[in-house]
Structure 1
Amino acid sequence: MTWELRDIVYNPVWMISTVILGLVVRSQRRGSWDPRACKVELKGKTAIVTGANTGIGKFIALDFARRGARVILACRSEARGNAAVREVRQLSGNADVHLRLVDVSSLESVREFATNILREEKEVHILVNNAGASGLPRGITADGLEVSFATNHVGPFLLTSLLLDRLKSSAPARIINVSSVNHWRGKVDFSHFHGNNLVYRMDEVYNHTKLHNVLWTNELARRLKGTDVTANSLHPGVVMTEVMRHYNWVVQFIFKLVGFFFFKTSEEGAVSTIYCAVAEETEGISGKYFDSDCSLVKPSPTARDPAIALKSFEFCERLTSKL
């Protein structure tokens, strides 16, 4: 910890002021939609949640399980995934909760996962593309993709494409893509997908991937018109999750200190996704973007451009067909 940071952290006036303000903010940050008040049941429905072993994903899976759904936790870690399955089963009283392994940064793993799902599940009614990471170090995957783009966008894009016919045959069905308000600071440059022309500063690469999430969702929704399958994207809020685990310890310290008072918990951060997935109010709504308070809002001007959305979608189609 630098002297300046230590001086601020240990300054009693700063600390007391932060605590008081933080407590006030915490008391006022409840959203307008409460999943506990929503009586929609999911008995007979199958839901898949990626990145469900921790954070937002686990609470999304827990909510679906409490509603009686058959829930597939799509996770990379077998140990952590099994622990999450046990916890969700125990808290929900629903034994129909299962782990299926997938690493969304690997297209081979995504294809294997999808093949198994199509063999095992006759119907899929809800697909939540929640898995993602911020601050990943520079890297190229075995598929030749920049690791953040592979994890946050190309993997989910391919997974959805492979499961799309099953979702259509199971309709009504919903696809929910967890994006971020950070997409406003993203840019579209297709060389980014292979790790070119990127600046690895804080969450800059993450921002680009989240913009592609919204563009993809909008074009997907356009293509799904008339199928009774909807696709929406959302911002879950600034949430205390493990998404920041790849940053250095100083950034994590500040994030956790400030976040304890001002950021949403993982349970609170799951609300907007649950709203898009189960609420009666969102039935039939497609190609939209929701904020962390479950309100329909306009995404960035770039994200609303149908021509760019088409280019992004077609680029990923060609990319995944070659790899």
Structure 2
Amino acid sequence: MYLLYTVIAGLVSYLILKWMKMRRYCTDVKRLDGKTVLITGGNSGIGKETAVALAMRGARVIIGCRDVDKARKAVKDIKARSHNVNVLYMELDLANMRSIREFCTSFLQKEKRLDILINNAGMPSVLDWTDDNFSMCFGVNHLGHFLLTNLLLGRLKETAPSRVITLTCENYKYQKLDFQDLNYNLLPFFTYCRSKLANVYFTQELARMTEGKGVSAYAVHPGYVQSGWTCHYSILFRILMKVIMFMFFIPCEMGAQTVIYCAVSDTVAGSSGGYFTDCRPARLRPFAKDSGVAKKLWEASERLVKLA
């Protein structure tokens, strides 16, 4: 009898874990022939799986990556999996404003189209600083993509209708922004949450500013994904998280589905500024929909990256 109870408990636990990891897949098979897609951090994780999926649809896919060796290997793999040779990489370090500006100058010289920009790259909860003395999370996750998007916005408008998809996280709800200390870098988890909230505000303000100009913006929570973010931590933490991620987190391919959905689906066309997860719109906390805060963050970000 004890053995039977053990088996039943194990089966129930397995089914619960299976249910927790269930996610929708993007079933839209729309082609992207003739379209150009730029994905930051497209050499691994969600970014790489997104690159494969969009390349399979015929898009010209460019991945922005700071590690050239990893980028080369990723491009080779993406080409093999997608059967699309129109995949390439460009060096980009989102922790360095000069690198971002040089990347954009080079991109605009070489590429005549930009149909879809996917702000995918991100830093986890780490206490570190960018080359420009911004906290790593806020500097990469928000400011780096803010500058990148703004410098490429002209090309996005020229190629309209175009889309900007920025990856965020539902952890945004655990923090609010402090405009007296946007560069907060004290408690790693809170720093990360603030950067993800900034992604939400950025998407909303970008949608407002580009309304009627053919550029749509979407914020995506991909779910909790079995990606390589733990490489920034100790070996013991990586081992622990490997077990936890195996049990509760979803594979990268599944995590990419909502990003792919927002990139190709016609059903999101009227939802610019929206927040999506599991291939459908999701509700934001009321404080995360404050247009006044979104505008204030935009203006502060312009000053910080010396764009104004």
TM-score category (smaller protein): over 0.9
Cα distance between partner residues in 1 of 2:155 and 2:83: 28
Structure 1 position 200 matched with structure 2 position 187: yes
The count of corresponding residues between Structure 1 and Structure 2 is 304
Structure 1 position 169 matched with structure 2 position 155: no
How much is the aligned-residue C-alpha RMSD, in angstroms?
Answer: 2.2
Q: TM-score, normalised by structure 1?
A: 0.88
Cα distance between partner residues in 1 of 2:186 and 2:11: 35
> Which residue of 57, 64, 67 corresponds with 2:57?
67
Aligned residue in 2 for 1:57: 47
> Which residue of 178, 191, 196 corresponds with 1:210?
196
> Which residue of 123, 139, 142 corresponds with 1:153?
142
1:169 Cα deviation after fit:
0.5
1:73-95 Cα distance to aligned partner (Å, 9 max, x none): 11111011111100000011100
Aligned residue in 1 for 2:17: 25
1:27 Cα deviation after fit:
5.9
Shift >4 Å, 4+ stretches? 16-20
Cα distance between partner residues in 2 of 1:248 and 1:151: 21
1:96-123 Cα distance to aligned partner (Å, 9 max, x none): 0001010111110111111111001111
Cα distance between partner residues in 1 of 2:198 and 2:10: 36
Specify the code of the residue in structure 2 equivalent to 1:278.
V
Specify the code of the residue in structure 2 equivalent to 1:134.
P
Report the CA distance shift for 1:142/1:258 in structure 2 as closer, same or farther (over 3 A).
closer
Note the residue ranges of structure 1 that are not aligned, 5 or more in a row: 1-12
> Which residue of 227, 241, 246 corresponds with 1:255?
241
1:186-226 Cα distance to aligned partner (Å, 9 max, x none): 2201344444xx4324x221101000010111011001110
Q: Would the aligned equivalents of 1:145 and 1:193 in 2 still touch at CA under 8 Å?
A: no
Aligned residue in 1 for 2:289: 304
Structure 1 position 273 matched with structure 2 position 265: no
Report the CA distance shift for 1:125/1:249 in structure 2 as closer, same or farther (over 3 A).
same
Structure 1 position 127 matched with structure 2 position 117: yes
Cα distance between partner residues in 2 of 1:18 and 1:183: 34
Percent of matched pairs sharing the same residue: 38
Q: Would the aligned equivalents of 2:28 and 2:261 in 1 still touch at CA under 8 Å?
A: no
1:263-322 Cα distance to aligned partner (Å, 9 max, x none): 11111110111111111211232010012x122112222210011001001100121126
Where 2:207 maps in the other structure, the secondary structure is helix
Q: TM-score, normalised by structure 2?
A: 0.92
1:233-252 correspondence to structure 2 within 5 Å: 233-252=219-238
1:24 Cα deviation after fit:
4.6
Where 2:232 maps in the other structure, the secondary structure is coil
Cα distance between partner residues in 2 of 1:322 and 1:296: 32
Where 2:62 maps in the other structure, the secondary structure is strand
- Which moves more between the two structures, 45-54 or 185-194? 185-194
